[in-house]
Amino acid sequence: MTTASSVQASPAAAPRRRKLPPWVGTLVLGVAMTFGLAVLLAAFAGVFKDKVPMEVPERRRAWAGDEPTAEVRLIKRPRFESAVGTVRAVHESSIASKILARVVEVNVKAGQPVTKGDVVARLDDSDLQARLKQARAAEAVAVAAHAKAVQDHERIRRAAATGAVSSQELDQAVAALRSAEAELERARQAINEAEVMLSYATLTAPLTGVVIDKRVEVGDTVAPGQILMTVYDPTRLQMVASVRESLALRLKVGDTVPAKLESLNYECTATVSEIVPEAQAASRSFTVKVTGPCPPGVYSGMFGRIFIPLDEEEIIVVPKSAVVRVGQLDMVNVVVDGRVERRSVQLGRSFNGEVEVLSGLVPGERVTLPKKGAES
């Protein structure tokens, strides 16, 4: 009995503890790491340090003293809009073949100067020479036939005057003479035709200039109408530009406009020589041709621009010497209440020792200039 009582009381005396699920520990660890990371980031961000005071101390400015100054000016100048153009020759001629033949001689190359009438190429003319000989032989036959017809006509005319022959025989002699004269004329024209055809085998320069775009070599076979080379006059060039409708209406033949060759950095005043009275349907622009003085080194096909004048514009300018380059910034020293204040500006175009100021200055302000002999 005693043993049974002790066995029954044992479970109540020592109850078992309940285990927590595994995910609870993982959750607690994650929360702790997140909190620690947040505290670390806050420390790096300076949350636990004193803030920088909001008051910015006033920048000290130097007195202007006796430094030379210049006024920021507002000026008016003509405004232009550019139109892209290409340099072309006023006189340019293409040399083409008029016959089907083989090239036997080429006497020029691209870039070579030629004089009007110089032989630039020759074509095979053996068949043309044969045709000319045939035409001359036919002329000889026609000359002999014509001489005989003249003699027959003269004899029959004399006989008809004495009544020895009938009028019918006289009419036949007259017809034979006229036929012989026509045959002689045809033979002579055949010679002219053969000589002209023979001349097509010799190609000459149509003008004095420079050869460009040579397209054939000895041994090539050319067809009628095929271009062999081009010659242009380098002493007379023009710029051909496409100008949109609204700007083209401002121009007329004889007007002068500024022009520029970009590659040579050459500027000049050009004269409008021609305005083609037809707009291009695709671009709605007119073709405008201008001429002007050409410096050495200008070639056909070079890129250029013409500038069409518009209304005047107002711009702010300062002397270039007043601008100081600091790193990537353009700075000027502005005189404010007798003190010098350095200010950043945004610059634009340059005009004869002055530069356009897009922002940073207003007209009437004064900027300092470097003293003479000092480095700017």
In this structure, whether the domain defined by 82-90+234-310 belongs to CATH 3.40.50.720 is answered with no
Confidence (pLDDT) at 49: 67
User: CA-to-CA distance for 9 and 289, rounded, in angstroms?
Assistant: 123
Q: Which fold has domain 92-118+205-233?
A: OB fold (Dihydrolipoamide Acetyltransferase, E2P) (2.40.50)
Confidence (pLDDT) at 61: 57
Tens-binned pLDDT, residue by residue, of the chain (376 aa): 444 444 444 444 455 556 667 777 788 788 888 888 887 887 777 666 666 555 444 445 566 667 788 999 999 888 888 899 999 999 999 999 999 999 999 999 998 999 999 999 999 999 999 999 999 999 999 999 999 999 988 988 888 888 888 888 888 888 999 999 999 999 999 999 999 999 999 999 999 999 988 999 999 999 999 999 999 998 889 999 999 988 888 899 999 999 999 888 888 899 999 999 888 888 889 999 999 888 888 888 899 999 998 888 889 999 999 999 988 899 999 998 888 899 999 999 888 889 999 999 999 999 998 876 554 4
The residues pairing with 334 across neighbouring beta strands, listed in sequence order, are 341, 367
Confidence (pLDDT) at 9: 45
| H/E run at residue 9 | helix 2-13
Separation in Å, CA 182 to CA 139, 185, 233:
11, 5, 46
**Residue spans per domain, the chain:** 69-79+314-368, 82-90+234-310, 92-118+205-233, 125-200
Confidence (pLDDT) at 265: 87
Confidence (pLDDT) at 281: 83
Q: Which fold has domain 69-79+314-368?
A: 2.40.420
Confidence (pLDDT) at 330: 93
* CATH class, range 125-200: mainly alpha
Residue 65 near residue 339, CB atoms below 8 Å: no
CA 121 centroid distance within chain: 32
| H/E run at residue 303 | strand 303-319
